[in-house]
Amino acid sequence: MAKYRLDEMDLKILDILIEDARKPYIDVAKALDISSGTVNVRIRNMEELGIIKSSAISLDYERMGYTFIAYVGIFLERNHQAEYVLEQLEAIPFVTEAHITSGKYNLFCKIRTKGVKHAKEVIYMIDDIQVTQALLDKVAEKAREYQLEYMEGPIGFSNMDKVGLLTEGYDHLSNMMTWYNYPYYNQHLEQLGFTKEKGFVEMEFLVKNSKPEIFKKTAEAIKKRYGVKFIDTPTTKEVLKHVDAMFDLYNETYSKLASYVPISERQREYFKQKYIPFINPEYIRFIEDKDGKLICFAIVMPSFSKALQKAKGKLLPWGWWYLLQSKRHHDTVEFYLIGVAPEYQSKGIPALLFDYYYDIFTRNGVTHCVITPELEENIAIQQLWKSFDPVIFARRATFKKQVRD
């Protein structure tokens, strides 16, 4: 277009739009005693010049519940990172303003939140990929030192450890067997050349979705046909007598999975000390065949998530009390681990477990069941839950990157 210069009328139009960007052209025209067509043409010219970039909506944050304001200073080791950081800040909805400054901090941003706790969460979202890169570069350096081909994580030392970054389900309360992370963790890894390696799903279902009459009938038929039965373990002491046999079966059951790592003796002892004391004996079940061989086990734990929130990660002064109360009174349980001997995996053995647990859960007031992360490829275990109409509420993944060409 031909060279265009702003005149006094353009400036008057801009003054009105600054006050109310959504004001109709006809109202602008009336205020300035000109035609609406003239207003339309002048605004279009200013948009083409880039003087008007967009029309903004003014929000009443207090009515929306965002009554807490915080100003955050951001220090950058390198000034050239400012542009990138500003782009990252734009992706955080609670950051309403961001400015480049001089002095101690390179940037200052204004955030609006629903309170102090929410403000802390938002501040944690203001990330720096350079820190992530420096950390992972060190890991890669160590991997090359030991002549490894790739690095993958986050992952524990066995299938019983926490695994995977959260990729979906950020609004769901995490359980004791998992960890929480912000979405930018995954974004950092992808930007640094990592790709998804293994996927995991977390599911939940309502106890009322179960069909106790079907399980009871099936359980009786299986007991009669195969001669299997529950091992009586009314106390923690009795449970501990069978833990070693349980881990032997665990190794046999999970050995074909991609992430399988055998359970060591040291890990067995650690599990006995860390987990068994927190589990109600009635929530641990063992099933043996007619020859007394362990063929199935299941470990269910009360959900300690809310108790851990109240305790804020500390046992003292009252953290232990919150945990004890959750052990005694809870409406949610977590299926931590289930194992079925390969030769019995298609014979309906889990029906015995569900028949038993339904009565226990009903008696204890349990309404929700959470299934801790299962490999997406572990179809056999996922098939166990299909009768309960489970819902996937979260997904996790490990990420992998080659360190040697």
- Domain membership of residue 268 (yes or no) is yes
Q: What is the CATH number of the domain that holds 90?
A: 3.30.70.920
In the sheet that holds 95-100, the strands lie side by side as: 68-74, 107-113, 95-100
225 with 118, same domain: the answer is no
Q: What percent of the chain has pLDDT over 90?
A: 32
Same domain, 343 and 232: yes
Q: Is residue 323 part of a domain?
A: yes
Confidence label for 284 from pLDDT (cuts 50, 70 and 90)? very high
Say if residue 316 is in the same domain as residue 352: yes
State whether 218 and 115 are in the same domain.
no
174 belongs to a structural domain: no
Predicted local confidence at residue 128, as pLDDT: 67
Q: What is the pLDDT of residues 225-259, one digit of tens each?
A: 999 999 999 999 999 999 999 999 998 888 877 66
Query: Exposed, middle or buried: residue 56 (CB in 10 Å: 0-12, 13-18, 19+)?
Result: exposed
- pLDDT value of position 63: 77
What pLDDT, on the 0 to 100 scale, is given for residue 258?
Answer: 67
- What percent of the chain clears pLDDT 70, i.e. is strictly above it? 95
CB 165 within 8 A of CB 397: yes
> What pLDDT was estimated at residue 131?
77
Given 83, 108, 126, the domain boundary residue is 126
> What one-character-per-residue DSSP string does 107-127 give?
EEEEEEESSHHHHHHHHHHS-
Asked, for residue 177, whether it belongs to a domain, the answer is no
pLDDT (0 to 100) of residue 399: 96
Q: Rounded mean pLDDT of the chain?
A: 86
Is residue 365's pLDDT more than 90? yes
266, two tokens: 């040291």
Cα separation values, 304 from 135, 179, 336, 340, Å? 32, 13, 13, 26
Judge if 386 and 253 occupy the same domain.
Answer: yes
Contact by Cβ (8 Å): 114, 67: yes
> Count of domains in the chain?
3
What whole-number distance in Å separates Cα of residue 54 and Cα of residue 43? 11
126: confidence class by pLDDT, cuts 50, 70, 90: low
Domain presence at residue 352: yes
Q: Is pLDDT of 102 > 90?
A: no
Average pLDDT over residues 75-100: 80
- The answer to whether residues 239 and 281 belong to one domain is yes
Do residues 49 and 5 make contact, with C-beta atoms less than 8 angstroms apart?
no
Measured between alpha carbons, how far apart are the two ends of the chain, in Å?
A: 53
Q: Evaluate whether residue 229 is within a structural domain.
A: yes
- 240 and 381 part of one domain: yes
Cα–Cα distance for residue pair 353/363, rounded to 1 Å: 16
pLDDT value for 101? 87
Q: For residue range 168-198, what is the model confidence (pLDDT) as tens digits? A: 998 888 888 888 888 888 888 988 899 999 9
Could you give the dihedral angle defined by the CA atoms of residues 244, 247, 251 and 257, in that order, rounded to the nearest 10 degrees?
-170
330 or 379: which carries more pLDDT confidence?
A: 330
With bands split at pLDDT 50, 70 and 90, how would you rate the model's confidence at 147? very high
- On whether both 226 and 364 belong to a single domain, the answer is yes
Residue 58 belongs to a domain: no
Q: Is 324 helix (H, G, I), strand (E, B) or coil?
A: helix
| pLDDT greater than 90 at residue 165 | yes
Greatest mean pLDDT among 7-16, 125-134, 288-297 lies in: 288-297
| Same-domain check for residues 80 and 227 | no
Q: What is the pLDDT of residue 3?
A: 61
Least confident of 199-208, 283-292, 340-349: 340-349
The whole-angstrom separation of Cα 140 and Cα 136 is: 6
Whole-number pLDDT of residue 221: 92
Q: CATH no. for residue 29?
A: 1.10.10.10
For the domain that residue 389 is a member of, what is the CATH number? 3.40.630.30
Digit-coded pLDDT (tens) for 31-79: 898 888 888 888 888 888 888 877 666 667 777 788 899 888 888 766 7
Q: Which domain holds residue 209?
A: 205-402
Please compute the mean of the pLDDT values over residues 16-23 and round it to a whole number: 80
- Pairing type for strands 107-113 and 68-74 reads antiparallel
Is the residue at 373 inside a domain? yes
For residues 360-387, average pLDDT: 85
Average pLDDT of the residues in 121-135: 75
